[in-house]
A = this chain, B = another copy of it.
Amino acid sequence: SSSADEIKLDGNPMKYMTDTYGVFWIPMRAIEEDHPENPMRIRMAVWVKNLQDHIVKTLETIESSHISSNSNIPPGKFLRDAWLRPEGGEGSSCVLSNGRVFEKAGVNVSVVHGMLPPTGQKSMLPDHPSLKPKDYSVPFFATGLSIVIHPINPHVPTVHLNYRYFEISDPENPSKPVSWWFGGGSDLTPCYLVEEDCKHFHQVLKDACDEHHKGFWKKYKKWCDEYFYVKHRGESRGIGGIFFDDLTDVSEEHGQSKNKEELFDFVKSASSAFLPAYVPIVLKNKDRKWTEEEKRWQQLRRGRYVEFNLVYDRGTKFGLATPGARVESILMSLPETARWEYMSDMGKEGTEEGKLMEVLRHPREWV
């Protein structure tokens, strides 16, 4: 029931493609409404808002084009929900629950600003060595896009994305940043390993990185493997992707730095790579049959996902500790359902589940 005509983003039909299965979906760089004379805070906020809209519509297109074996289930629609932060800023949460393809998908934008006290500045230092903490409160600005998608079918991987821009200004001149950085990445969390899908996901992200700097991909792929490590389980959360933080114009790779405009270009490419990296994997696997045992394994893997997010994830911990934070938006990353078994018999060597475990314990290069 879906067609390219249903989606009108900015009227450019070149942006819509048909995949090999005949399903319409929207590839990267759908919208680019950017004005270089604007301050970066505005440009990045516009970028993430447009990308949010674009991704939400693409996911709804997948929902409406999916022929469900259970015709009682209507195609999933996002609940769009704008919110204001009393301390300064706004956001928009789009959440889809109990669709035909996606059990839970959250696509969240926030644009927040306010004053950052000395303690807050100091606590950011370990991850942001370029920051020069002051003994007084300084204006800050942060905007970002966060996505977590948990599909119903255990053969369709969970995916995560986050891209953000952060600025600190002088109180005397709040419109001119004294310190700023980009951060982000995206990563894939399958329950079952399909090697060509893993390669595809990494290849698309690598291409987006290589366009901008030959050193980016290798570094950010490794950073991702290190960041999404569930230490107490001795395993990675998923098969990785890319992750970077504190990327600014004094960051050097192989003695080479990039200016702000170049870094923004990179962030646009990397975030635009999300749909082409993920959507083909969804379309390819969403009609596969699954057994009760495979569903049980998915639920156990979701439990591990919850463990990572609540115990280690920086954004979640920071968010939950922030007074006035919107908990529903922060915890939309959690799956609809999860499972914990004591000494589970699943994931043993020689099984399909064991094959995944092997990769989670020993991350691979993939491309």
Contact = CB atoms under 8 A, between A and B. Distances in A.
Contacts of A307: 310, 331
A179 to B, nearest CB: 28
A208 interface: no
Nearest to A299: B337
A136 interface: no
Contacts of A97: 341-342
Contacts of A282: none
Interface string A313-332: 00001001100010110111
Counting every copy of the chain, the complex holds 2
A198 interface: no
A81 B231 CA distance: 24
B337 A338 contact: yes
A337 to B, nearest CB: 5
Which of A325, A332, A334 has the largest number of chain B CB atoms within 10 A?
A334
Contacts of A366: none
A214 to B, nearest CB: 38
A219 interface: no
A147 B145 CA distance: 41
A287 interface: no
A79 B342 contact: yes
28 contacts: A79-B342, A79-B343, A81-B343, A93-B342, A95-B342, A95-B343, A97-B341, A97-B342, A104-B340, A231-B320, A232-B327, A232-B330, A233-B327, A299-B337, A303-B334, A310-B310, A310-B311, A311-B311, A311-B317, A328-B342, A328-B343, A331-B340, A334-B340, A336-B341, A337-B339, A338-B338, A338-B339, A338-B340
Given A299-B337, A310-B310, A336-B340, 16 more contacts: A95-B342, A97-B342, A104-B340, A104-B342, A232-B327, A306-B306, A306-B310, A306-B338, A307-B310, A311-B320, A331-B340, A335-B340, A337-B337, A337-B338, A337-B340, A338-B338
Interface of A: 79, 81, 93, 95, 97, 104, 106, 231-233, 299, 303, 306-307, 310-311, 317, 320-321, 325, 327-328, 330-332, 334-343
Nearest 9 pairs of A and B residues by beta carbon: A310-B310, A334-B340, A95-B342, A232-B320, A232-B327, A337-B339, A332-B342, A310-B311, A338-B338
